[in-house]
Amino acid sequence: MRILLTGASGQLGRQIARQGTRHQIAARDHQALDITRLDDVRLAVASAKPDLIINAAAFNDVDGAESNPDAAFLVNEAGPRNLAIAAVESDAAILHVSTDYVFDGEKRTPYDEDDPASPLSQYGRSKLAGEVAVRAATPRHYVVRTAWVYEPEGKNFPKTLFALSRKQKELRVVSDVKGSPTSAAHLAAAILDLIETDAHGTYHLAGGGDGASWFELATHFFRELKTDVTLVPVSASEFPRPAPRPRYSVLRTIRQPRIVLPPWQEGIAELARQLKTQSGESVQ
């Protein structure tokens, strides 16, 4: 399969490019392709001649979107629309990556694909608008919602914890926000499985299990690292942010084919091993 991949320098984009070796992947980062420019998108699609476009590009500064919603909507709504338009024109399918932040967090059981979206933030609204634009443009779409993505090279919460633990022996971690921690490597593998099915629609692909709070994630992470750090559970209200976040956004899938990622604990354990190796520490 010929694939045009946008957002190739991001956490997920890197993993898709690495794992998708059985496909012909034309990987484009933001410098190579600005998805907000329809003419540029059309040129890229004409060059790559893809059977499928995977959009892993996003404006993902959640707090920045509150003060600059136009920029967020340009990338997260207009960008996917441009890609979907070009997909239709070139007879290609499109896979668009979205987020758990399209939900308001008022539910206390995992969100499935049929639950109504009700985003709290400008970021969430912009991502939902991108979903709507893709669905409206073509029936040959996959919309993949995921959450709390991490991998060894990216900027993410576990890596921030890892860096802080090298300077502090006590860390305060939010315990009343719960979601689905997701390994970018596991997510990429699931996406590569999904695109083989031609089962177009909306899918939740996130770390398996019943989800975790940030505190539970941190506890498991440091246990795997075998690092002596004291974790203090605190409320999200102690860390006020410009953008509201859903307090509960665990994802599950009810779609067929039912693609379930490994338990989130496995991804965190793998990340801990990778970070220890990178830092020159022995892996036990």
Catalytic residues, which ones?
A: 123
Exposed, middle or buried: residue 190 (CB in 10 Å: 0-12, 13-18, 19+)? buried
Q: Which amino acid is at 95?
A: L
Q: Which amino acid is at 273?
A: R
Looking from the CA of 178 toward its CB, the CA atoms found within 13 Å total 15
Q: How far, in whole angstroms, is CA 108 from its chain's centroid?
A: 21
